[in-house]
Amino acid sequence: MRIVVSIKRYNPEKKPQAYTQEFSLDVKPTDRVLDVLVSIKENQDSSLTFRKSCAHGVCGSDAMIINGQERLACKTLVKDVAQVDNDRIEVEPLRSMPIQRDLAVDQGVFFDNYRKIDPFLRPKEKPPKEEYRQSQKEREQFEDPTKCILCSACYSSCPVIEAGEKKFVGPAASAQAARFAFDTRDVGIAGRLEELDTPDGVAACDNHFNCTKVCPRGIKITKNINTLKKSIKKHKES
């Protein structure tokens, strides 16, 4: 089938404003949007810039907006976003992060916010000689957010971040805050209140659920945030 791919382009060295460029090409419905972008770069315009690495939904490099929604280009098939000949696929860079060039954004602000929640285990006791023991149930409490691949799709989709009125750390950072706060090996909520109980922390989430809808790993981000909010409240009342 033949499709038209409309790509938002930006190269500050050549043109101060972003613009849209269209490419027409033959593809298979089972091609991935990443394959389409690679084909455009190899055969039509070698200056087209985007990030990719694993091409299998693992590294989180190629999150972008495809037909208005944050997706991984390597996990989106042409048939998911175009059905008949001459259908258009619109591709744009993620929101709320500065564009470096074309579809590549500077994720610095995403990672700066991520670091604010101390995204590593802070052991509550001296590590044992062998391994930490945890029951299956204890492990399940924080399983969901461990699947994060740091793609920033949730950050881009968040209306609280886009509005810019609150300095929210963002959905991925909040979900990781839950990941460590609910790990029985960690100091937990009591030892993390300084990072978690701030106006810019999980409290800033307004429950729009956009992050949960776009997360390519299916993480129940908003649910994790709400559970953490309740646990912080309970801890402060006890």
- 18 near ligand FES (CB under 6 A): no
Q: Choose between 27 and 74: whose C-beta lies nearer to ligand FES.
A: 74
- Between CA 167 and CA 67 the distance in angstroms is 28
Closest to 45 in 3D by CA, of 11, 82, 68? 11
Q: Is 12 left (phi over 0), alpha (psi -120 to 50) or beta?
A: alpha
* Binding map of ligand FES across residues 49-68, x = CB under 6 A, - = no contact: ---xxxx-xxxxxx------
Q: What are phi and psi of 213, to 5 degrees?
A: -65, -40
Q: Is 217 in the site for ligand SF4 (CB under 6 A)?
A: yes
Q: Which of 49, 61, 96, 152 lies at the binding interface for ligand SF4 (CB under 6 A)?
A: 152
Helices 171-181 + 221-237 axis angle, to 10: 50
Contact flag: residue 94 with ligand FES (CB under 6 A): no
Q: Residue 177 carries which side chain, given as an amino acid letter? A: A
Q: Is 147 in the site for ligand FES (CB under 6 A)?
A: no
Q: Check if the beta carbon of residue 8 is closer than 8 Å to that of residue 22.
A: no
Q: Which does 152 bind (CB under 5 to 8 A by kind): ligand FES, ligand SF4, none?
A: ligand SF4
Residue 31 touching ligand FES (CB under 6 A): no
Query: Segment near ligand FES (CB under 6 A), from 20-28, 47-55, 99-107, 229-237?
Result: 47-55
Residues that bind ligand FES (CB under 6 A): 52-55, 57-62, 72, 74
